[in-house]
Chain A
């Protein structure tokens, strides 16, 4: 049974304990860890652990099919069975077909958000005190982007100014078929573009152990384990088929009584197929002021003091563009991977050649010394 006197003592004890704990215990602020002002033989510990796991997964599939058919015909005219002259002149044809595709642009932007302390101090503690600060931080960042694009462009162009006939006329006959000019352009660019920007937080920690009593045992441990994994997998399958049928001929003039003149037009057609940039991977891992661009690396694991939360990645969209204007590009990150200076992998070594040359030179020199007549170096007597 607790009496009134005992109850008072209990309250006093608890209050004093709280005062001691608050007044002299190590305290923790958001960015400073300090153990200070503790008495001799005291035992003081601060331990902080944080474990962060950030995972971003994106998967995009684009299936684009463009089927364009163009037909223009100013020919297939007939002027036959006339009693006088007959003349056919067909118009020129000028045709342009453009197809532009863009698909699968993925952007991941992970900013730094580290709550690790920036200062750890053990100072002014008494003799024989035992003071320890331990900071453990484990951060895992995983980014995985998987993009598949299948693009199929099928363009058919038919242009005809010929196929005219002027038969069995009693006068002169003239057939003049028009020219055909055309251009087909297919451009598939910015297909499967990955842009990953992970800002690492290389925060400095200031550590200070000073002015503690004799025989005090002080330690500050900082353990940081940071893993960043970036896996990018892009596959693009692009098939372009262009079929151009242009005809200014197949004109006919038979059974006419007068002179016959057939002049067929010129054909000037151009087809441009351009694929790329495609399957571009741009990864940047580092502080904001640095730019680390690794267009060819799919996976990186680095030790970085980063504790970033993932920002919502911008959603890519598979756009179907038959004969349409290009979609919005992803900006400066869409620069094509550097192709300058790329060579097939070096899978040989010049060491063998070098050693062979050295062997040959040694052998020849040995032969020379062995068989070429000459004097051995003479030894002069040195007069005392």
Chain B
């Protein structure tokens, strides 16, 4: 009986592990269609990061200090922090999105920054707004503590900052990717 119980626990643990990490694996698979095209049709503002296969609509003007507000926005895509700029304005654009969520809720759009940590210097990031393309190149990456809000509140000129939580599956620290327009 011990053996049977042990076998059962082993099988259940493997099933639970599969259930937990299958959404992650699915997001690593190449797209069957081109979501960038479908995004272009339905959204006037979206992001495309080819290196990590990330495409998602961008929700404008989201309060980054109100959890109730941005949680709702992040269910649909990437949030543009209220007070930060839009492409072409010559100021800092601050975008943030989930890197992980509960497994049964994970979609391509609401965990758009799952693989943000894989970006390296020189990788390209594209923003599309009202038919116009804005290209950025990664120039820096940082892990910071959550209370280092100066990256969000201070304008450091024409740049793009992408933010998500790190390590994956936690909300311990924040991963910031800095990109300059090209």
Contacts and interface: CB of A to CB of B under 8 A. Distances in A.
A7 interface: no
A279 B74 CA distance: 25
Contact of B13 (A297, A363, A368): A363
A86 B2 CA distance: 106
Contacts of B113: 347
A365 B9 contact: yes
B2 A374 contact: yes
Contacts of B17: 355-356, 359, 363
A296 B153 CA distance: 13
A356 B61 CA distance: 35
B144 interface: yes
B158 to A, nearest CB: 14
B8 A366 contact: yes
Interface in A329-348: 339, 342-348
Nearest to A356: B20
A355 B165 contact: no
B164 interface: yes
Given A296-B63, A348-B170, A369 B6 contact: yes
B25 interface: no
A377 B171 CA distance: 44
Nearest to B71: A346
A205 B83 CA distance: 42
Interface in A360-376: 360-363, 365-372, 374, 376
Interface in B57-90: 61, 63-67, 70, 74, 79, 81-83
A342 B170 contact: no
A205 B138 CA distance: 61
B130 interface: no
A355 B16 contact: yes
B16 A353 contact: no
Contacts of A358: 13, 16
A289 interface: no
A347 B103 contact: no
B169 A353 contact: yes
Given A345-B96, A348-B170, A297 B63 contact: yes
B82 to A, nearest CB: 7
A367 B170 contact: no
Contacts of A355: 16-17, 19-20, 103
Interface of A: 279, 296-298, 339, 342-353, 355-356, 358-363, 365-372, 374, 376-377
Given A355-B17, A370-B6, A376-B1, 9 more contacts: A347-B164, A347-B174, A355-B20, A362-B12, A362-B13, A366-B8, A366-B12, A369-B5, A372-B2
Complex A-B, nearest 9 residue pairs according to Cβ-Cβ distance, in ascending order: A348-B165, A366-B9, A370-B6, A369-B6, A352-B169, A366-B10, A362-B13, A363-B13, A343-B146
